[in-house]
Amino acid sequence: MVKQSENIMDKIVSLAKRRGFVFQSSEIYGGLNGCWDYGPLGVELLRNVKDAWWKAMTFRDNIEGLDASILMHPRVWEASGHVENFTDPMVDCKSCKARYRVDILLDELSTKKKKETLREMFPGKFEGQQKDEIIESEFAKIANDDNALRSLLSALSCPQCGNKSTFTDARKFNLMFKTFIGPMEDSSAIVYLRPETAQGIFVNFLNVQSASRQKIPFGIAQIGKAFRNEINTKNFLFRTREFEQMEMQFFVKPETDETWFEYWREQRMQWFYDLGMRKEKLQWHKHDKLAHYARNAYDIEYQFPFGWGEIEGIHNRTNFDLSRHEEFSGKSLKYFDEEAKEKYVPFIIETSAGASRSCMAFLIEAYREEEARTADGEMETRVVLKFNPKLAPIKAAIFPLVNRDGMPEIAKKIEHDLRPSFRVFYDDSGAVGRRYRRQDEVGTPFCITVDSETLENQTVTIRERDSMEQVRVAISSLKSWLSERL
């Protein structure tokens, strides 16, 4: 099972590179860990994901857009709690120098391994046939107890070198990237690359509200880069050090928060369904352990080949954020509710998705290997990216069947006419079957072929990616035919 899933990830990573979706950052220098570059097709896919989100969120009368700067006043991150708390506990192996995030190291142990460890730590106590749940919960208790954690770590072996009792004590590691503003590299000049886009929205709450004359409830949406100095980056675009977020903060009257929380939960899950994700590949994960300020929190998880992973969080953040910024800035962030004639600090419902992480989920979701018949009647495996047409990087490919008899001229004219409206691609090399396969592999929904019948009646063959069915459409109605389907 693991082998097969690794295999699929390897295939997707290799396809992504070969066809220009995603490249390793600074590859000619050996790459930079946790950073990736989007190539010609990847940049279109990512942009389409972001556009779909932007439309779904801001084409409403109660959500405004924002693009705040990445560098912010350092006090923002004190108020938000990031300076103090945005840390992961980490350990190093003294023998092979591998570095681990403690929670991930412990999560990845099998129940069997956990049981063995508990037996070693507490001789005589876990000798019976305890149920898995009991083992898991006993283990979790110890993992969450700072005093017991040390002896737990010394009972474990390093997954990389296999040596036992080689872990250092757990240390807190702040995930924010630091830099300096201006010419002086001293502590008064420290600024951070934002680890989330949300704070730019919170501090602009009243600016946006008064400029747009919105009344509560209303939201502010933003797409932008975020940076986290993750201890372990892995699984391709899943956990990277530089990534993009798509966040919307919805400001509501206290007491109405849970109703809006449910509303946004439903809306956000539907967004993934509408873009073609299969229901069985998505699930809710409710947070049992809530951040001290949160009243409720759920993650939308996607079933990646390596397991379930969060792609979006929906959080009821109460009035924590605005209250903290009031306290740290000394400026009022209260809203005056004209109808109720009262002033209050709004509650916030947050929807926080990763653009790059969802982009990877859409890529994996689209990836299929299918048995298909070639033009010669032979069976072969075709690789096809079944993107929702809205997300497909190229919307239509145009082929002349042969490079003579005036076909290239007609095909070029079609390309020229469609290009202002759609992202199209012209290909005249190789057999048509091969050209279809090349487009399947990058998820192009429609291939338009100019053939001998075109010369007689001004129609073309359109072949649909998923069904592989072909229809004939008049050149004059191509644009409207495509518009309807895209």
Question: Could you tell me how far CA 119 lies from the centroid of its own chain?
Answer: 39
Select 313 or 400, whichever has its Cβ closest to ligand ATP: 313
In the bound complex, what is the minimum distance in angstroms from residue 190's beta carbon to ligand ATP? 22
Residue with the closest Cβ to ligand ATP? 354
For residue 357, the minimal CB distance to ligand ATP (Å) is 4
Q: What is the DSSP string of 418-444?
A: HTTTS-EEE--SS-HHHHHHHHHTTT-
Rounded distance, CA 244 to CA 121, Å?
A: 43
Q: Which residues touch 179 (CB under 8 Å, ≥6 apart)? A: 190, 191, 192, 193
Nearer to ligand ATP, 268 or 382 (CB): 268
Q: Please, which residue, 117 or 352, has the CB nearer to ligand ATP? A: 352
Q: Minimum CB separation from ligand ATP for residue 36, in Å?
A: 10
Residue where the block lists tokens 């209050």: 344
**By C-beta, is 313 or 443 nearer to ligand ATP?**
313
For residue 34, the minimal CB distance to ligand ATP (Å) is 8
Reading the block at residue 441, the tokens are 């592999």
CA angle 403, 471, 414 (to 5 degrees): 45
Identify which of residues 365 and 427 has a Cβ nearer to ligand ATP in the complex.
365
CB of residue 101 to ligand ATP, shortest distance in Å = 9
Q: How far is CA 1 from the centre of its chain?
A: 24
| Cβ nearer to ligand ATP, comparing 228 with 265 | 228
Q: How far is the CB of 218 from ligand ATP (least distance, A)?
A: 22
Minimum distance, C-beta of residue 362 to ligand ATP, in the bound complex (Å): 12
Neighbour count for residue 4 (Cβ, 10 Å)? 9
Least gap, CB of 107 to ligand ATP (angstroms): 11
User: Is 230 or 405 the residue whose CB approaches ligand ATP more closely?
Assistant: 230
Of the two residues 126 and 362, which places its CB atom closer to ligand ATP in the complex? 362
Given the complex with ligand ATP, which of 107 and 370 has the nearer CB atom? 107
Q: Which is nearer to ligand ATP, 245 or 388 (CB)?
A: 245
At a CB cut-off of 8 Å and minimum separation 6, what does 320 contact? 293, 294, 348
Minimal distance, residue 223 CB to ligand ATP, in Å:
12
Peptide bond into 305 cis (omega under 30): no
177-180 and 190-193 beta bridge pairing: antiparallel
d(CA 139, CA 149): 10
**Cα–Cα dist 202/248, whole Å:** 10
Contact 401, 447 (CB under 8 A): no
Q: Measured between alpha carbons, how far is 329 from 55 in angstroms, rounded to an integer?
A: 33
Residues found near ligand ATP in the complex (CB under 6 A)? 196, 228, 230, 239-240, 243, 245, 310-313, 352-354, 356-357
SS3 breakdown of the chain: % helix, strand, coil, rounded to 5?
A: 40, 30, 35
- Give the residue with the Cβ less far from ligand ATP, 230 or 262: 230
CA nearest to 394, candidates 51, 25, 21, 55: 21
Strand, helix or coil at 482?
helix
The distance of closest approach from Cβ of residue 149 to ligand ATP in the complex, given in angstroms and rounded to an integer, is 19
- The residue type at 46: L
Q: How far apart are CA 251 and CA 333, in angstroms?
A: 12
DSSP secondary structure of 349-408 = EEEEEEHHHHHHHHHHHHEEEEEEE-TTS-EEEEEEE---TTT-S--EEEEESSS-TTHH
Alpha carbon 393 to its chain centroid, in Å, reads 17
Residue with Cβ nearer ligand ATP (254 or 307):
307
Determine the 3-state secondary structure of 116 from DSSP. Answer: helix
Q: How far is the CB of 49 from ligand ATP (least distance, A)?
A: 12
